[in-house]
Amino acid sequence: MDRDPAAKSAFEVILCYPGFHAMLMHRVAHFFYCRGWFIIARLISQLARFLTAIEIHPGAKIGQGLFIDHGSGVVIGETAVVGDNVTIYQGVTLGGTGKEKEKRHPTIGDNVVISTGAKVLGSFTVGDNSRIGAGSVVLKAVPANSTVVGVPGKVVARGYQKDTLSGDVGIDLRHDLLPDPVSEMMLRMQERIEFLEERIKQLEAQL
């Protein structure tokens, strides 16, 4: 209710939000998984995937207050750890690399926002209060209070100002206000080219 302006009532969330349904079913699947009932746990997770288009492995550890917005195409791997009050948008993957049996999926800190289509791949930590831009592919650790964009993902800002107008100062949902390092680099190159062209004109005039 706090993080989705489209939610009109708690009753609507209970009946119509696939992210809420996926989390309820994951709690049940994780209960069986932790007790060694792996087949039952996987069957429940597969049923949740069929009903919600959200795939959360029953072995994943999910904190409190996870909000999966829309949710279609979200995948959370077996050894992933998700902190409290994390926001995940559609098409996000918390995936692994290689065939290791140990920890191979990311650990997501508290109050993290992962935007549409982002892929976080590997066994590393995304620090608290960080933001992952839409379509980014994150392959290495992210410090706390950072903004990551690009393919591969790069930290482009740290210590950003949080959106206090959202009603929740611990979570910054303005993932539309992310820096564009490629655009900034192109702008600097254009300014440099214009400077050099002007300098060439001056030198030609002197000759």
Query: In degrees rounded to 5, what are phi and psi of residue 127?
Result: -65, 165
Partner residues linked to 146 by β-bridges:
158
**DSSP reduced 3-state for 164:** helix
Whether pLDDT at 60 is above 50:
yes
Whether pLDDT at 165 is above 50:
no
Q: Give the mean model confidence (pLDDT) for residues 3-17.
A: 87
Whether pLDDT at 167 is above 50:
no
Query: In degrees rounded to 5, what are phi and psi of residue 40?
Result: -60, -40
- If one counts every other C-beta atom within 10 angstroms of the C-beta of residue 110, the result is 19
pTM, 2 dp: 0.75
Q: How confident is the model at residue 164 (pLDDT cuts 50, 70, 90)?
A: very low
Residue boundaries of the structural domains of the chain: 10-176, 179-207
The CATH architecture one would assign to domain 10-176 is: 3 Solenoid (2.160)
Could you report how far apart the first and last alpha carbons of the chain are, in Å?
Answer: 71
Q: C-alpha angle with apex 52: 48 to 54, nearest 5 degrees?
A: 80
